[in-house]
Chain A
Amino acid sequence: SQTIHQWPATLVQPVGSPLSLECTVEGTSNPNLYWYRQAAGRGLQLLFYSVGIGQISSEVPQNLSASRPQDRQFILSSKKLLLSDSGFYLCAWSVALALYEQYFGPGTRLTVT
């Protein structure tokens, strides 16, 4: 069966510090991968998605970046965090032909202070 891992679960970082969040998927090959951010009590904002190694599409211009160094690994990064980067970050995967059905990781709750 497929499993998606995200870490860390919670993170408190000062403004201006770097960020690296990692997501890995097990049990499937060549998945579509997604990074979302969710503000408290709000919907899901798509940040990045990837259809393959090294292929990243950015949905929202910001100080975040994403990379996919391996087929089942997706990394979200920032060189300098802003207060507005606080939120619940969710990684998800889907089969390429069924992207309407996405499977989410447990999420990382990031607080920028």
Chain B
Amino acid sequence: GQSLEQPSEVTAVEGAIVQINCTYQTSGFYGLSWYQQHDGGAPTFLSYNALDGLEETGRFSSFLSRSDSYGYLLLQELQMKDSASYFCAVKPGRRALTFGSGTRLQVQP
């Protein structure tokens, strides 16, 4: 089966940098995705890492280490609108994604 671990809550201030970690155990692995979900809304896709290293998309970056079964999402220049839940998800093979339980990020002024 698959299991993912991420912190349940993270708090940071506006303008800061925050890192949300995700460790996974899976019988097969094709890549790690990240999604953002605001309260009451639907998840939206942020990034995907299939290979080791850092992928940058504007203020957001995502990192993957396949040998460590570990990844993280890095949010820079935090804004109040970044307050949301962030989910990592693994693609274990040809099956559908398996999502983590989510990290609730609270950005304070």
Contacts and interface: CB of A to CB of B under 8 A. Distances in A.
A77 to B, nearest CB: 19
Contacts of A49: 95-96
A44 B96 CA distance: 12
B21 interface: no
A61 interface: no
Contacts, number: 54
B33 A100 contact: yes
Interface string A23-49: 000000000101010000111111001
Interface residues of A, number: 22
Contacts of A57: 95-96
Contacts of B99: 36, 43-46
Nearest to A4: B42
A79 B30 CA distance: 37
A15 interface: no
Given A34-B96, A43-B101, A90 B87 contact: no
Interface of A: 32, 34, 36, 41-46, 49, 57, 59, 90, 99-107
Interface of B: 30-31, 33, 35, 41-45, 48, 50, 87, 89, 91, 95-102, 104
